[in-house]
Amino acid sequence: MASAPGSLKLFGEHAVVYNRLALSAAFNRRAFCEVSPVQRGITVNLKDLGKRRKFNFNEVLRSYTELKGMVERGDMHGLAKARKDVFSPYKMILGDFFREFGFTAIDVSINSDVPRNSGLGSSAAVFCSLAAALNSFVHGGLGREQLAELANLGDKVVHGNPSGLDASTCTFGGYISFRRGEGINPLKIKTEVPMLVVNTGSQKDTGEMIGRVAERYKTDKRGVGRIFDRMEDTALSGIRALKSSNLKKLGGNMNTAQECFRELGLSTPGIEKIIETAMNNGALGAKITGAGGGGCVIILTKEPGELTSIYKRMGCESFQTLLGVEGVK
């Protein structure tokens, strides 16, 4: 049995696309994977989705070859079509693994507590747990960087061109910073931060949000660039706050980051209502996590239980979590 945590974006969303710093954290909702031997074939059982399918080796290898080609060509249309089959990213990971270690008849059983389609790294958590379980099953000796690379193959099918930040966060745990051209940087931060995650109840479209920011940037590079610079300064300040365990300062950084989201036009009335409620009830900070336009809001508060009750009355799902937790194990 292997497990991996979810990945929550703290700072730098969108700005990271334009070479600014981003910061993410592992949080203590986890995906679990168990790999066991069988007589023949490969069975993948996605318990939390209620989906199960059996493959033969040739089918996995054929799908892997096709998917790998799409990724290498940057064939986003082909990948969009392929990911309509929920099992495609699993065949991508399994095919790459079998190519390296040889075919083995196995049963793969996966379950996840990480909320899906909410910008919380749910797919990366599942793929990291799968990579680790496969590695353990064959005593493959893969290190964490290799596990993150294997998991990110699945995310390439799901997301097209991911930075690898989610897969690295789920694998290494703790806090991870990232800048394009510099890559992934696991940070030596010991602070575990209590956080409340609130689901807005509206599905986000990450591609639409990225496109909206890109259009703004085309027409106002200087103005939007200043917002991105402010987001980078906030990310750096947030890292310093985490290193010194200064939660009040961290909350202030979160509020500044949310101001940047507003300036970029990525907040919504529903998001603002959740944030206003938090701040009126003693929260230290609150912001969108992920692309905006929906998804989840994260709240730094000393009274998570009280806020949870309030959000329940508002019809919003929420859960308490801890940031900076252990990675894949």
Lowest mean pLDDT, pick from 40-54, 79-93, 133-147, 196-210: 196-210
Check whether 95 has a pLDDT greater than 70: yes
Specify the pLDDT at position 204.
67
Is this structure's pTM higher than 0.95? no
Contacts of 174 (CB under 8 A, 6+ apart): 25, 26, 186, 187, 189, 324, 325, 326, 327
Q: Which CATH architecture has domain 193-323?
A: 2-Layer Sandwich (3.30)
Specify the domain boundaries for CATH 3.30.70.890 within the chain. Answer: 193-323
CATH 3.30.230.10 residue spans of the chain: 2-187
Under the banding of pLDDT at 50, 70 and 90, the label for residue 208 is: confident
When pLDDT is averaged across residues 80-107 and rounded to a whole number, the result is: 94
Q: Where are the alpha helices (DSSP H) in the chain?
A: 57-73, 76-82, 88-101, 122-137, 144-159, 165-172, 206-219, 221-243, 247-263, 269-280, 304-314
Q: What is the mean pLDDT of the chain?
A: 93
For the domain 2-187, what is the CATH code?
3.30.230.10
CB neighbour class for 61 (10 Å; exposed up to 12, middle 13-18, buried from 19): middle
The pLDDT value recorded for residue 304 is 87
Find out whether 275 and 297 touch, Cβ atoms under 8 Å: yes
- The answer on pLDDT for 255 being more than 80 is yes
Other Cβ atoms less than 10 A from the Cβ of 262: the count is 15
pLDDT tens digits for range 153-182 = 999 999 887 878 899 999 999 999 999 888
Q: Name which of 103, 110, 135 is nearest 38 in CA terms.
A: 103
What pLDDT, in 10s, does the model give residues 50-86?
Answer: 999 999 999 999 999 999 999 999 898 999 899 899 9
Is the pLDDT assigned to residue 127 strictly greater than 90? yes
